[in-house]
Amino acid sequence: MIDIRISNCNKNYGSLRVLKDINLEIERGEFIVLLGPSGCGKSTLLHIVAGLDRLTSGAIEIGGRDVTDVEPKDRDIAMVFQSYALYPTMSVRSNMEFGLRMRGKPMAEIRPLVEEKARMLHIDHLLDRRPSQLSGGQRQRVAIGRALVRDPRVFLFDEPLSNLDAKLRASMRTEIKKLHQSLGTTAIYVTHDQLEAMTLASRMVVMKAGEIQQVGKPEEVYHRPVNLFVADFLGNPGMNFMRGHIRLDGGHISADIGAAILPLDGYAFEAAPADGQAVVVGLRPESIQPISGLTSGGGAFTLTLRPTLIEHTGSDNLVVLAMGDEEIVGKFPTDMLPKLGEPVTVGFDLGRLSLFDAESERRI
Ligand SMILES: Nc1ncnc2c1ncn2[C@@H]1O[C@H](COP(=O)(O)OP(=O)(O)OP(=O)(O)O)[C@@H](O)[C@H]1O
Ligand SMILES: [Mg+2]
């Protein structure tokens, strides 16, 4: 069942086209994460679903109803902002009660509801405080609680965790995930934090300059990016890109990247390759490591390379390897670290490889 339908949605500010023909269908209960660089139109799209911004053209449906011209308050949505947007002079309790009181719900029903949600979010002991007497994380819980008591059809979140420190962010992320698992309410969540996107999303929507680039499950978008932009945007450190060209001979397909010829007979092509076609081969750092650590089973390829730099990030060891005139980055297990300058045998996990046409930058 489709809960939100965004059809041919365009938004212009004067001559600036901020959203370009966006189409997206969101199923009931999905947790959709909008991801993309700053200024790509994520908040604008969220505001349009909320009704806080008007479309230039197109239509929005929520729960099967065309809400394109419906006021935000009548759209059955609740929004949580990065800035929390709490009423500073009201207690936590009043902040949480406010929306329901405005809707004319009797206090006898509001009280227990607010108390229940406050317990759920572990802020029940803070109900009589003002927002200024709370920490950032507590304020964020109040903002979420205020959205929860409304029991809306759709939750909209605009970078709700970006003002929190790394540790609190991680724990709030887990709580939002648990909340969604127990409530099952449809949600659209904007972030530019990849970890948040990967862990929370049932489907991810990657945007660039007002256009949707790819929609898919996080692992699908991560492992099978549709173009160089998506491939490059996801992953930290980023995907390695190696320029080369296709070789077709004797029924075998390979990619000549100068320093090596990579066999591609096992690669699932989306478009038939041509002999000599200029391509970019993409391989993520975790797919470049000692052969015993490779996991996909897609066929490994080995190469002897010279490590030029080793970076310890705590959980990972990034090994920079010289390959021809270029450098690539691998992720090595701690007990298999090479010595700087001493050539080492490195496995390439060809089952995780992505190929892009060099000109169109699309996956082939
Ligand atoms: N009221 C406005 N008038 C003119 N331009 C606007 C207005 N609001 C947003 N924009 C422009 O629209 C584009 C998209 O903005 P938006 O806030 O949706 O980006 P975003 O993806 O949410 O970015 P961020 O990650 O930085 O929050 C930007 O170029 C922005 O400058
Ligand atoms: Mg924004």
CA 54 from chain center: how many Å?
Answer: 25
Ligand with minimal distance to 34 CA: 1
What is the C-alpha separation between 222 and 213, in angstroms, rounded? 13
Query: What is the distance in A from the centroid of ligand 2 to the CA of 164?
Result: 16
Query: What is the distance in A from the centroid of ligand 2 to the CA of 37?
Result: 9
Closest approach atom of ligand 1 to CA 13: 4
Residue to probe by mutation, ligand 1, list 9, 17, 18, most atoms within 8 Å of CB = 18
Give me the pLDDT at residue 298, please.
Answer: 53
- Is 90 in a helix, a strand, or coil? coil
What are all long-range contacts of 116-123, with beta carbons under 8 Å and residues at least 24 apart?
117/145, 117/148, 117/149, 118/92, 118/93, 118/145, 120/145, 120/148, 120/179, 121/145, 121/148, 121/175, 123/92
Give me the pLDDT at residue 169, please.
Answer: 85
Right CATH number for 2-233 from 3.40.50.720, 3.40.50.300, 2.40.110.10, 3.30.110.40?
3.40.50.300
Query: What is the distance in A from the centroid of ligand 2 to the CA of 158?
Result: 7
- Is 69 in a helix, a strand, or coil? coil
DSSP class of residue 111 equals H
Query: What is the distance in A from the centroid of ligand 2 to the CA of 156?
Result: 12
Give me the pLDDT at residue 167, please.
Answer: 81
Amino acid at 257: I
Phi first, then psi: what are they for 247, rounded to 5°?
-125, 125
Task: Give, to the nearest 10 degrees, the angle between helix 136-149 and helix 107-120.
Answer: 140
Residues with CB under 5 A from ligand 2 (ion): 43
Query: What is the distance in A from the centroid of ligand 1 to the CA of 18?
Result: 7
What is the C-alpha separation between 123 and 119, in angstroms, rounded? 6
Q: Are 264 and 212 in contact (CB under 8 A)?
A: no
Amino acid at 33: V
Residues with CB under 6 A from ligand 1: 13, 16, 18, 36, 38-44, 192
Task: Give, to the nearest 10 degrees, the angle between helix 92-102 and helix 136-149.
Answer: 20
DSSP class of residue 296 equals S
Ligand with minimal distance to 14 CA: 1
What is the C-alpha separation between 340 and 173, in angstroms, rounded? 38
Mean pLDDT by 10 residues, the chain (364 residues): 96 96 97 96 96 95 95 91 87 93 91 90 92 89 89 92 82 88 94 91 97 98 97 94 95 93 93 95 94 65 93 88 92 90 92 96 97
Residue to probe by mutation, ligand 1, list 43, 48, 53, most atoms within 8 Å of CB = 43
CA angle 345, 348, 350 (to 5 degrees): 155
CATH 2.40.128.120 fits 240-357, yes or no: no
Phi first, then psi: what are they for 339, rounded to 5°?
-95, 140
What does the domain layout of the chain look like in residue ranges?
2-233, 240-357
Of 19, 55, 7, nearest in space to 209 by CA: 19
Give me the pLDDT at residue 295, please.
Answer: 63
Query: What is the distance in A from the centroid of ligand 1 to the CA of 39?
Result: 5
Task: Give, to the nearest 10 degrees, the angle between helix 92-102 and helix 107-120.
Answer: 130
Q: Cα dihedral angle (81, 129, 73, 177), rounded to 10 degrees?
A: 50
Residue to probe by mutation, ligand 1, list 20, 44, 163, 207, most atoms within 8 Å of CB = 44
Structure-block tokens of residue 144: 């979420």
Query: What is the distance in A from the centroid of ligand 1 to the CA of 69?
Result: 22
Of 262, 263, 234, 235, nearest in space to 331 by CA: 235
Amino acid at 156: L
Q: Are 233 and 36 in contact (CB under 8 A)?
A: yes
- Is 209 in a helix, a strand, or coil? coil
Which residue has the CA at smallest separation from atom 29 of ligand 1?
A: 39
**44 membership: H or E segment, kind and range:** helix 42-50
